[in-house]
Amino acid sequence: MRLEITFRNIEASDALRERAEKKFKKVAKHLREPIEGHLVIKVEKHRHSAELTVHAAGEQTFKAQEVTDDMYATIDGIMNKAERTVRRHKERLIDKHQAGAGEEGDGFTTEEVAEPA
């Protein structure tokens, strides 16, 4: 798991970096290694925004964006969005795998048997 953080128009701080890495671990637990993430944190006037791109082995690329008035809330929000997206993708893959061949291929019939009177 690797997370690169780019700060634009904001001073790079260890507190922001540690918070982002801590929250990124929740996103990474749903993906297969190697996982690469790139977080861009920027400030424009009073708007704090963040963009996250996540690449995982053999899977799609996931992207998320968040804009708020507080940088910590922005980091929390973007990581929650990314975790929700990744978890939903993982659940869909599991559901598709467990569905199998469908009703035709399971070997069971759904005929109703009438009870003798």
11 belongs to a structural domain: yes
pLDDT at 102: 56
- Which helix (H) or strand (E) segment is 7 a member of? strand 2-8
Position 14 confidence tier, pLDDT thresholds 50, 70, 90? very high
CATH code, domain with 6: 3.30.160.100
pLDDT for the residue numbered 95: 84
| Residue 113 located in a structural domain | no
What confidence category does residue 37 fall into, taking pLDDT thresholds of 50, 70 and 90?
very high
Asked if residue 56 belongs to a domain, the reply is yes
Count of the separate structural domains present in the chain? 1
As a residue count, the chain comes to 117
pLDDT at 110: 56
Q: Look at residue 111 and tell me if it is in a domain.
A: no
28 domain residue, yes or no? yes
Range of the structural domain that residue 41 is part of: 2-98
Q: What would you report as the CA-atom Rg of the chain, rounded to the nearest whole angstrom? A: 22
Residue 40 located in a structural domain = yes
